[in-house]
Structure 1
Amino acid sequence: MKRKILVAVLAASLAFSTWTVESIFAAGSNPESKLKQIQEDKTKAKADLNQARSALNEQKKKLQDLEKKVDSYDQQIAKYTQSLAENQKMLEKQESKFKKILVRMYQEGQMDYTVRLLEAETFSEFLARFETVRIIVKQEKAILDNYINIKRKIEKEKAAIEKEKQKQAPYLEAARNEYQKLVKSVSEKNQNLKHLEHQEELTREAIEEKNRLVREASGRYSGTGTGELMWPANGRMTSPYGWRNGRMHEGIDIANDIGTPIYAADSGTVSLMKSDPDGYGYYIVINHGNGLSTLYAHMYRSSVTVSLGQRVRKGQRIASIGNNGRSTGPHLHFEVHKNGNPVDPMPYLQ
């Protein structure tokens, strides 16, 4: 009897276990359950994306605050650099006059003017020669004084530039460290960040100000480019030159990861470096000569490797792709300006 009862209990247990397993599998294959799981996964993915975006925005804000401080020194350095360039041009003009006076003074000696006066045969001739000598001496003294004053100004401006660079150095170092952290974060969050679509929403004011500055800068420094441009960065062109959303897009956009190298499209001189946190981020203009200039935008100041007035060669690295200013995805905004006006870059690119 006991044996029959035990067998019955075991059979009932097995039957219950079988029903439980089947019920679990039935629930797992339920379409409603699958849909719920997908919705939960989407919600979590969206939350992760928002979290990644928020964290990066905080890092960008910290970097931008540091770069504002760096830019304040950049502006002061730019003033000294422009003044230095103007004084060096003036010095070159005075150089030949100065050398001629030195050569004559060495060859003839300081007694030359006295000899001219003593050789006068009459007193009226003496007075005439005296007036001539006085004018010549005054003119030569003015040339010498002017030359020496310009030289002193140049030395002061060079010293001032170095002083400002020393003040700027710790902020620039801090900005570069923060930039490296940002690059690392982007790399780590790349799986989520790839869903972010790159876009620009530049104001008309930012565009007009940029064009005005480019026109002004084109007359400050000379360039010696070939007129044939290389692609300034590797990547995918996400937006061409032309009308977009009812507004003129004055360049092309090349998308790639933050930190991707940017190269000078042609040889020339860096004629403008500008911080525009609410528009183009940080941008550089290179003057290639013959009315041709190129502009590189949305970079971080801490990634820039050139300075104002510096001559660069075609293919030289000048900065790295960033996501600075009015941009929600890392890319290079690249423009070509001809005689002060933005034009389609494609005919110029090799």
Structure 2
Amino acid sequence: MKRMLTLSAIMAVVVSVTVPAAAHMEPSSRDLPSTASAVSASDVLQQASAVAAAEAEATVPSQSFASSADAEISPATRDAIKVKKLVVEPPAPVYAPAAPSGSFAGSYGGAFAGFLAVWPANAPVNDGFGYRGSEFHGGIDIMTGSGMTLVSASPGVVTQVTYGGGWGQYIKIDHGSGVSTLYSHMIQGSQMVSPGQTVAAGTPLGLSGSTGYVTVAHLHFETYINGTRVDPMGLLP
């Protein structure tokens, strides 16, 4: 299309150049051939042909070449590549082992760490949980002296209010989830709760004393997970 338009434009130029020249010639010379006009028209036609040929070459579409890498990797090969998702399993929680009542589990740092809400007495700890020579100490000794009010370490239900044996006067409370606490060496008859009673954290239980196997007045405090004694220090806040 561009080629045809170019030829038309050039021919229009030729006509516009040659016709007016012939129209203004003298009558005596009008019938004589004009060599200059003929030569000019021929030159113009040759130039037009050259321009048209150049434009034709310019309009040839460029060739595209496929990459050798694309030729080697087919769509089926690409789709066959799969990414394996890495799944990391979370570590299993650590729980205190269940064991019959009276066995010893050692120090505790399991799922119930910090379970208890308050300390049962406001006094320093003199003796910890574990072996003392060949003897195993199943709780902690809190040096309250005689007559200090002892309180429940967490909400729960009183299961025992008992006097006798090495613990003397003692109280035991079930806090749910397998957790229970024991308060011993209380002054006989000083208990302020009864079995089956529901208590809150900080509810007064009785007075510290020296009943049972003791040398000085103090609170011997024990904690249990599913019947197994564990270190009270791990459950206290």
TM-score (norm 2): 0.51
- Which residue, 317, 325, 338 being the options, matches 2:212? 325
Report the structure, 1 or 2, having the larger helix content: 1
CA–CA distance in structure 1, aligned partners of residues 120 and 161 of structure 2? 17
- Give the counterpart letter for 1:271 in structure 2: T
- Tell me what 1:267 maps to: 155
- 4+ residue runs over 2 A deviation: 211-215, 226-229
**CA shift in 2, pair 1:236/1:253, >3 Å:** same
- Tell me what 2:106 maps to: none
Per-residue deviation at 1:318? 0.6
Between stretches 285-294 and 250-259, larger displacement belongs to: 250-259
Task: Report Cα offsets for 1:118-143 as digits up to 9, x if no partner.
Answer: xxxxxxxxxxxxxxxxxxxxxxxxxx
CA–CA distance in structure 2, aligned partners of residues 338 and 256 of structure 1? 25
- Tell me what 2:229 maps to: 342
CA–CA distance in structure 1, aligned partners of residues 101 and 211 of structure 2? 19
CA–CA distance in structure 1, aligned partners of residues 183 and 221 of structure 2? 5
- 2:137 paired with 1:249: yes
Conservation of the 8 A alpha-carbon contact between 2:101 and 2:227: no
Alignment of 1:116-265 (within 5 A): 227-265=115-153
- Give the counterpart letter for 2:211 in structure 1: N
CA–CA distance in structure 2, aligned partners of residues 235 and 287 of structure 1? 23
- Give the counterpart letter for 2:199 in structure 1: V
Q: How many residues align?
A: 129
**CA shift in 2, pair 1:213/1:298, >3 Å:** farther
CA–CA distance in structure 2, aligned partners of residues 327 and 275 of structure 1? 14
Conservation of the 8 A alpha-carbon contact between 1:214 and 1:272: no
CA–CA distance in structure 1, aligned partners of residues 153 and 220 of structure 2? 13
CA–CA distance in structure 2, aligned partners of residues 212 and 306 of structure 1? 27
- Tell me what 2:60 maps to: none
CA–CA distance in structure 1, aligned partners of residues 140 and 190 of structure 2? 21
Conservation of the 8 A alpha-carbon contact between 1:254 and 1:333: yes
Per-residue deviation at 1:257? 2.1
Over the aligned positions, Cα root-mean-square deviation in angstroms equals 2.2
- Tell me what 1:294 maps to: 181
- Tell me what 1:308 maps to: 195
Per-residue deviation at 1:328? 1.0
Q: Percent identity, please.
A: 40
Task: Report Cα offsets for 1:5-48 as digits up to 9, x if no partner.
Answer: xxxxxxxxxxxxxxxxxxxxxxxxxxxxxxxxxxxxxxxxxxxx
Per-residue deviation at 1:214? 8.5
Greater Cα radius of gyration, structure 1 or 2: 2
Conservation of the 8 A alpha-carbon contact between 1:227 and 1:288: no
Conservation of the 8 A alpha-carbon contact between 1:262 and 1:317: yes
**CA shift in 2, pair 1:212/1:297, >3 Å:** farther
**CA shift in 2, pair 1:320/1:335, >3 Å:** same
**CA shift in 2, pair 1:287/1:322, >3 Å:** same
- Give the counterpart letter for 1:251 in structure 2: G
CA–CA distance in structure 2, aligned partners of residues 298 and 286 of structure 1? 15
- Give the counterpart letter for 2:147 in structure 1: G
CA–CA distance in structure 2, aligned partners of residues 214 and 230 of structure 1? 25
CA–CA distance in structure 2, aligned partners of residues 346 and 250 of structure 1? 12
- Which residue, 273, 277, 280 being the options, matches 2:167? 280
CA–CA distance in structure 2, aligned partners of residues 323 and 245 of structure 1? 23
CA–CA distance in structure 1, aligned partners of residues 213 and 191 of structure 2? 19
CA–CA distance in structure 2, aligned partners of residues 349 and 254 of structure 1? 13
CA–CA distance in structure 1, aligned partners of residues 175 and 102 of structure 2? 13
CA–CA distance in structure 1, aligned partners of residues 232 and 147 of structure 2? 23
Three-state SS of the structure 2 residue aligned to 1:347 is helix
TM-score (norm 1): 0.35
Task: Report Cα offsets for 1:76-124 as digits up to 9, x if no partner.
Answer: xxxxxxxxxxxxxxxxxxxxxxxxxxxxxxxxxxxxxxxxxxxxxxxxx
- Give the counterpart letter for 2:163 in structure 1: S
Conservation of the 8 A alpha-carbon contact between 1:258 and 1:331: yes
Conservation of the 8 A alpha-carbon contact between 2:100 and 2:228: no
Conservation of the 8 A alpha-carbon contact between 2:115 and 2:236: no
Conservation of the 8 A alpha-carbon contact between 1:214 and 1:285: no
